[in-house]
A = this chain, B = another copy of it.
């Protein structure tokens, strides 16, 4: 072993397996991003991953299992984004919360999650695979928020407001993303930060 020019002339089975699976899942993720759920076919993924048809079907016997793996991948990426510690400057904790949630929603993984999400509405199998993951993500966001602002009497509510509101904002920006003139989302985000300060303050003195 330890060749210099060869990437890995001899790999153990586990390594090969993991590498191939990762390539396939990443290819599926990319297909989901640029083509949507329907375009994420076995053939397209297989071609993009650069593996043979049988190889893909060997690792993921059915398309549903492939998509389930993509669900995990997407969740992992979003969790990674949320795990990144934000800068908690005193007096601007809620601004940091807005930025944190917004960063998650701007990540490509959110678009992929959105595709899976909508598709899961009418696909029981995908729904079953997606529901627990969504719950994990949900609690992860709330935990991240709690990490930024301390104990706040209305912390959970305001966090929920922020999540839902920014999600809606991100949705509205879906179609107008490329070539945004006034950047609607930025305005909403800035004003929500102000309002959030009001709401957090009012609740503190009430």
A-to-B contact residues, CB < 8 Å: 34-39, 111, 114-115, 117-123, 127, 130-131, 134, 157, 160-161, 163-169, 171-172, 174-176, 188, 191-192, 195, 198-199, 202
Partner of A164, one of B119, B134, B172: B172
Instruction: Give the secondary structure class of A's interface.
Output: helix
List 26 contacting pairs A-B, 8 Å CB cutoff, sorted by A: A36-B118, A36-B122, A36-B123, A37-B38, A38-B119, A39-B122, A114-B118, A115-B118, A120-B174, A121-B174, A134-B175, A160-B188, A161-B191, A161-B192, A164-B165, A164-B167, A164-B168, A164-B169, A164-B172, A165-B165, A167-B167, A167-B168, A198-B198, A198-B199, A198-B202, A202-B202
From residue A109, how far is it (CB to closest CB) to chain B in Å?
15
Q: Is the CB of A122 within 8 A of B35?
A: yes
The answer to whether A175 and B127 touch (CB under 8 A), given A164-B188, A167-B167, A167-B168, is: yes
CB closest residue in chain B, given A202 = B198
Partner of A175, one of B131, B176, B192: B131
**Chain B residues, Cβ within 8 Å of A199:** 195, 198-199
CB closest residue in chain B, given A185 = B164
From residue A182, how far is it (CB to closest CB) to chain B in Å?
13
Q: How far is the CA of A176 from the CA of B120 in the complex (A)?
A: 11
CB closest residue in chain B, given A127 = B175
Partner of A161, one of B37, B165, B172: B165
Partner of A117, one of B111, B130, B171: B171
